[in-house]
Amino acid sequence: MKIIYGADYNPEQWSKEIWLEDMKYMKEAHVNMVNLNIFGWAILEPEEGHYDFKMLDELMDLLYKNNIDVDLATATAAQPAWLSMKYDDVLPKDQSLNTIWHGSRQSYCPNSPNYRRRAIALVRKIGERYKTHPALKMWHINNEYSDHTHICYCDNCARSFRLWLESKYTLEEINERWGTSFWSQKYYHFSEIIPPRQTSADHNPGLVLDYKRFMSDSILELYLMENEILKALTPDIPISTNFMGNDNKPLDYYKWSNSIDIISWDSYPDITKTESPMNNALTHDLMRSLKQSGHILMEQAPNQVNWRKRNPNKRPGEMNTYSMQGIAHGCLGIMFFQWRQSLKGAEKFHSGMIPHNGVETRTFKEVCSLGKQLENMTPIEYKAKVAIYMDYDCWWALEYEPGPSIDMKYMDSIRSYYSYFFHHNIPVDFVFENSNLDNYDYVLAPNMYMIKESFSQTVHKYVKNGGQFILGPFSGIVDESDSVFKEGYLSTIKDLMGISVVGYDVLTHSNSISYKELTCIKWCDEIKLFTADSIADYQSDYYKETPAVTINQYGHGKSFYIGTCFNEEEMNKLLSSIITIKGIESPYNVEVITQGDHVMILNHTNIDQMFELCFFHNRSNITIKAHQTILLKK
């Protein structure tokens, strides 16, 4: 199976002479697929119901003639100006019901009947026109859903929210779930419920959580409405939409993943930060795990981006290391935004595979050499023995203010555990509420604030059969409606953990634990042992000498509770006392990935590195230059 290689191709910006040049240079760069028509709506439909496919027809034929496959976009990510101005339900509204105006992109309300109606008509036209075109190899629905508009508070959204609630709960259930007897919030009729618009003080957390679920579902409905049309017309053409990585909170990507054929995501690491290689690896692992199959790196910058405050160039080799990191973590394809750097518009200072200064540039040379390298590779099947639990509902509920501490951030907690495995070169998968855990030696849940009943049962079975479960602080607090468990923290997993958590302290200073005098930060759970043993106690404050880290034998397995937080270095020390899987030693940010026969060494640092690589029975001295990639076979 060949590795997909290419870019977003936006030829609407260029003359036909340039298109011909593009074909020549695409061959030189070994491009085999492009994402076409992502922002094409305004050209395709100049006025309501009148279509003009001339340019797209020509481009599809030209690409086919040049042996370049097309991932054809449905163009619904940016509606034409006439649509925004003609119907007053199209533009989204903020919390104070101010209009978010037309003039950028993706500025539409997810529940707008007119946006939906016109998007359906457009997608049907595109689907019917190109369903048998030989260049068509994949569908690209919309673009980065939720990037610019992830929430809207308008009256259409209010109406749809009530219908969404009615399809799930009775009014009595809503009052019970949201605890509306507090602050006089009881509802007597569905019509009284409104979105969490601007108010005088904090909103009801239950309502906010349900609104987040509703918004993720509303945007998913947009995807599904396009998906349904395309599936009916071209059942054999895979469909994807590009996700936005691990920092993107508005969409429940796990729920979405059931309806997507191939997961893809866009990677824009901040190259000035030392944690970026780790964070990028984490996102690949998360994206791959959503469907437990290969995913596509759908966009990355060939060189600099234009949307951070300062946008340095990727260093020589750095684009290659990030691309190879994708391959090493299971990618089926490596793509860029965009093929040719724009001369006009909002992204003219964002790099392209062909920069402003043409093909005699470092960027284009690096792009060509990567294309050539990928042509001789095939996708890697990624396997891991460690899994981290991820749950979007938990993330949303945990971070609704007012909470006990602004420092407890869901993805930060996940990163602090993931970092141990990344820096020890131990492969990791992510698991979700319905995943099978049987193949893992360790399952970690860094901040499982919300317990889901299905996962509670799965994890009981997993540990009983010999698995090892590691749970982080501020876990097991609420149920799925964000109500604190009346039977106490940890609720249904108390027996599994062998402890009860009787309270917590938010740290504005640090504390330490008796294991290696490690400094702990942010948070201290107050723990009572019940069948568990203490591995480390707190060393100061009113809970001095009470357990901070515990271990419990449960069936054939073990459960560990880590009731506090650590910085990266201290966390590494603690986890190395618990995890017995042997990693591979390498210098900081030199990543070594071993999967099947493949060994990939990626130097993510700006300096040359030398180290002794030991794995299985092999030992070799490695010298690797700054941002170099070395590929070996075992």
Would you tell me which residues interact with ligand GAL (CB under 6 A)?
Answer: 143-144, 147, 266, 268, 299, 301, 305, 337, 347, 350
Query: Judged by CB, which is closer to ligand GAL: 103, or 402?
Result: 103
> CB-wise, 175 or 304, nearer to ligand GAL?
304
Instruction: Specify the residue, 66 or 304, whose C-beta has the smaller distance to ligand GAL.
Output: 304
CB of 301 to ligand GAL, least distance (A): 6
Q: Cβ distance 442 to 581 under 8 Å?
A: yes
Choice between 309 and 633, CB closer to ligand GAL: 309
Q: Which is nearer to ligand GAL, 85 or 346 (CB)?
A: 346
Least Cβ distance, residue 69 to ligand GAL (angstroms):
20
Check the CA dihedral 449-453-456-462 and report its sign: negative
Using alpha carbons, select from 331, 264, 224 the residue that is nearest to residue 71: 264
Question: CA dist 104 to 86, 122, 293, 301, Å?
Answer: 17, 20, 35, 21
**Going by DSSP bridges, is the β-strand pair 629-633/239-240 parallel, antiparallel, or unpaired?**
unpaired
The minimum distance between CB 40 and ligand GAL, in angstroms, equals: 13
Q: Which residue reads 């076409």 in tokens?
A: 36
Indicate the residue among 143 and 321 with the shorter CB distance to ligand GAL: 143
CA 29 – CA 519 distance, rounded (Å) = 51
* Contact in structure between 253 and 283 (CB atoms under 8 Å): no
State both tokens at 344.
Answer: 């006009």
Residue 381 catalytic?
Answer: no
CA distances 27 to 65, 68, 138, 376, Å, are 12, 9, 20, 15
Cβ atoms of 210 and 165 closer than 8 Å: yes
Work out how close the CB of 308 gets to ligand GAL at its nearest, in angstroms, rounded to a whole number.
10
Whole-number Å distance between alpha carbons of 447 and 414:
7
Q: Which is nearer to ligand GAL, 106 or 481 (CB)?
A: 106
* CA-based nearest residue to 278, from 129, 417, 182, 153: 417
Q: How far is the CB of 242 from ligand GAL (least distance, A)?
A: 6
Q: How far is the CB of 347 from ligand GAL (least distance, A)?
A: 6
Is 487 labeled as catalytic in the residue annotation? no
Which of 221, 226, 275 is closest to 247 using CA atoms? 275
Kindly write down the DSSP assignment for every residue of 312-348, as one continuous string: PPPPTTHHHHHHHHHHHTTEEEEEES-SB--SSSTTT
Q: Which residues pair with 428 in a beta bridge?
A: 386
Annotated catalytic residue: which of 28, 176, 275, 299? Answer: 299
Dist. CA 517–CA 529, nearest whole Å: 21
- Tell me the closest approach of the beta carbon of residue 9 to ligand GAL, in angstroms: 12
Which amino acid is located at 634 in the chain?
Answer: K
Tell me the closest approach of the beta carbon of residue 38 to ligand GAL, in angstroms.
7
d(CA 560, CA 550): 5
Report CA torsion sign: 27, 33, 37, 38: negative
In eight-state DSSP terms, residue 2 is P
Helix (H) or strand (E) holding 173: helix 171-178
**Closest approach of Cβ 299 to ligand GAL, in Å?**
6
Q: How far is the CB of 627 from ligand GAL (least distance, A)?
A: 20
Rounded distance, CA 173 to CA 177, Å?
A: 6
d(CA 560, CA 518): 17
| Residue found under tokens 């692992």 | 285
The nearer residue to ligand GAL, 350 or 558, going by C-beta atoms, is: 350
Classified as helix, coil or strand, 98 is coil
Inter-residue contact 549 to 471 (CB < 8 Å): no
What crossing angle do the helices spanning 155-166 and 205-233 adopt, rounded to 10°? Answer: 90
Measured from the CB atom, is 77 or 414 closer to ligand GAL? 77
Catalytic residue among 45, 144, 526, 570: 144
Please state whether beta strands 598-603 and 629-633 pair in parallel, antiparallel, or not at all (unpaired).
Answer: antiparallel
341 or 559: CB nearest ligand GAL = 341
Question: Are 36 and 71 in contact, with CB atoms under 8 Å apart?
Answer: yes
The strand pairing partners of 590, in sequence order, are 603
Which is nearest to 252 in space by CA: 354, 94, 406, 397?
397
Alpha-carbon gap, residue 118 to 81, rounded angstroms = 13
Q: Give min distance, CB of 168 to ligand GAL, in A.
A: 32
Shortest Å, Cβ 436 to ligand GAL: 33
Q: Which is nearer to ligand GAL, 71 or 266 (CB)?
A: 266
Residue 128's CB is within 10 A of a number of other CB atoms, namely 11
**Of residues 147 and 176, the one with the C-beta less far from ligand GAL:** 147
String of DSSP letters for 110-139: TT-HHHHHHHHHHHHHHHHHHTT-TTEEEE
Active site residue ranges: 144, 299
